[in-house]
Structure 1
Amino acid sequence: MNLPDAVMKDAQLLWDYQLMGHSPQPCSVAIGLGSHDLGVADATAELYRQGMAPLIVFTGATSRTTRDRMPRGEAEHYRERAIELGVPSDAILVEPQARNTGENIRFARALLEERGVPVSSVLLVSKPYEERRAYATARKLWPDVEFVSASTPMTLADYVEAIGDARLVVEMLVGALQRLLIYPAQGFMIRQEVPQDIQDAYERLRAQGFTSRLIPDATQAE
């Protein structure tokens, strides 16, 4: 389904804002955040091949959107994908319990500490439209570590084509922006400046009904 140009223009603003613009650099470990998108595993494997991290942690259980496609769990399916792409199995740790971004960070950190892996920097790999959310969450929960955000390099149009549902992508963008607005006050992530044009685009999309990924109760935790 094609969406109006005005809708896609606002979606582009949200997409661009979510991208942190970090340049990949060598880190102690790469953490791939579980989701429906195997592109996260692809991006993490490529960064490993580039020598950006000697070790990978894939973190994620299943959710209502992944239990059918990834019955063994998001992290395990990511691991299998990375091995297909040439990453040695002994360079991958799997954290199979996390069900949200906060747990991704906390549980991956606990696993690394349990294994005695020293960590001063993390290459944080997520879906493109959740780079900023992942970064803000990680900075809150693991403040003494440097985080470098990464995702599959692609345009919004490419992502819409890959997902095959423009409306769903716009709704995910709206949901991700809402969390950036409300989660800092709840202690789930650091506060980041959201420019007025981004807030205006978000409100326009909400008003047009792109609301399926919103949290109806702003006090609800993730």
Structure 2
Amino acid sequence: MPSNIYRSAKTVWDYHLLHQSLVKSDCLFVLCSNDVRVAEYAAQLFLQGYAPYIVFSGNVGEITQGLFPCSEAEHFANIAREMGVPDNCIYIESQATNTGDNIIKTRELLKDKHLDPQRFILVQKPFMERRTLATFEKLWSTKTALVTSPPIEFDDFANDVISYGDAINVMVGDLQRIRYYPVLGFSTEQVIPQPVWQAYQHLVAVGFDDHLSSDLPRD
């Protein structure tokens, strides 16, 4: 990776990470994706006693089409079971197709199950921490949440499933949404320092625009 792209990508990566301290909570809420390390991390948190049950939320998205033999949520739940999480401590929401949908449909699922957790641990990929929490705060403001992700450094993130190009495209798209979603009522306002936005603009200019929303401004 050219050094100028690396610097911009690392700047955006660092911005998305919130480094919040974990506390015991009522529910682990896992926003599923193509990254099974998130499922493994969530299962570890459960086994360490951070919450009494886990909700896995996610259908099949553009990135995961054909990747798993079932929905993202079902695949992640299977990983948790294999790691020792009891089946009666797992809830599956397998219809959501975006972050807002994850929250809305999980809220409906928990209501149907007569569960009313007050404090959540949101579990997500590192570069999606900030937008996940901002979306939760807007759409479920009566609850308390913190967000966490597998402790993976940017230099170690890419694997056989997710390339650095994939990660950078999503990071850039999420930053666009962080900037413009609050006015649409989709998330809470976030301060974006000028160097972070300049890094975003640089990455867009060199072609990392696959995850940008055509409905939002690019700059």
Question: TM-score per shorter chain, which class?
Answer: over 0.9
Distance 2:98 2:79 in 1: 21
Is 1:168–2:166 an aligned residue pair?
Answer: yes
Distance 1:192 1:156 in 2: 22
The root-mean-square deviation of aligned C-alpha atoms, in Å, is: 1.3
What residue number does 1:152 align with? 150
Deviation at 1:52, TM superposition (A): 0.5
Determine helix, strand or coil for the equivalent of 1:160.
coil
Q: 2:210 is matched with which residue: 193, 209, 212?
A: 212
What residue number does 2:188 align with? 190
Aligned length: 217
What residue number does 1:12 align with? 10
What residue number does 2:55 align with? 57
Q: Output aligned runs, 1:37-186, within 5 Å.
A: 37-161=35-159, 163=161, 165-186=163-184
Determine helix, strand or coil for the equivalent of 1:147.
strand
Deviation at 1:161, TM superposition (A): 4.1
Encode CA deviations 1:129-158: one digit per residue, 9 max, x unaligned: 000010000000000111110110010111
Specify the code of the residue in structure 1 equivalent to 2:191: E
Determine helix, strand or coil for the equivalent of 2:157.
helix
Query: Is 2:124–2:148's contact at 8 Å kept on the other side of the alignment?
Result: yes
Specify the code of the residue in structure 1 equivalent to 2:69: P
Determine helix, strand or coil for the equivalent of 2:44.
helix
Deviation at 1:13, TM superposition (A): 0.8
Where structure 2 has 5 or more consecutive residues not aligned to the other structure, the ranges are none
Distance 2:205 2:23 in 1: 40
What residue number does 2:30 align with? 32
Specify the code of the residue in structure 1 equivalent to 2:154: L
Determine helix, strand or coil for the equivalent of 1:71.
coil
Specify the code of the residue in structure 2 equivalent to 1:137: T
Specify the code of the residue in structure 1 equivalent to 2:41: A
Determine helix, strand or coil for the equivalent of 2:133.
helix
Percent of paired sites with the same residue: 37
Deviation at 1:162, TM superposition (A): 5.7
Distance 1:41 1:161 in 2: 16
Determine helix, strand or coil for the equivalent of 2:155.
helix
Deviation at 1:71, TM superposition (A): 3.0
Deviation at 1:106, TM superposition (A): 0.7
TM-score (norm 1): 0.94
TM-score (norm 2): 0.95
Query: Is 2:134–2:187's contact at 8 Å kept on the other side of the alignment?
Result: yes
Determine helix, strand or coil for the equivalent of 1:32.
strand
Distance 1:187 1:164 in 2: 30
Specify the code of the residue in structure 1 equivalent to 2:117: V
Specify the code of the residue in structure 2 equivalent to 1:118: D
Encode CA deviations 1:109-143: one digit per residue, 9 max, x unaligned: 11111111121100000111000010000000000
Query: Is 1:41–1:82's contact at 8 Å kept on the other side of the alignment?
Result: yes
Distance 1:101 1:217 in 2: 17
Specify the code of the residue in structure 1 equivalent to 2:145: F
> Structure 1 residues 198 and 162, CA, compared in 2 at 3 Å: closer, same or farther?
farther
Distance 2:129 2:188 in 1: 14
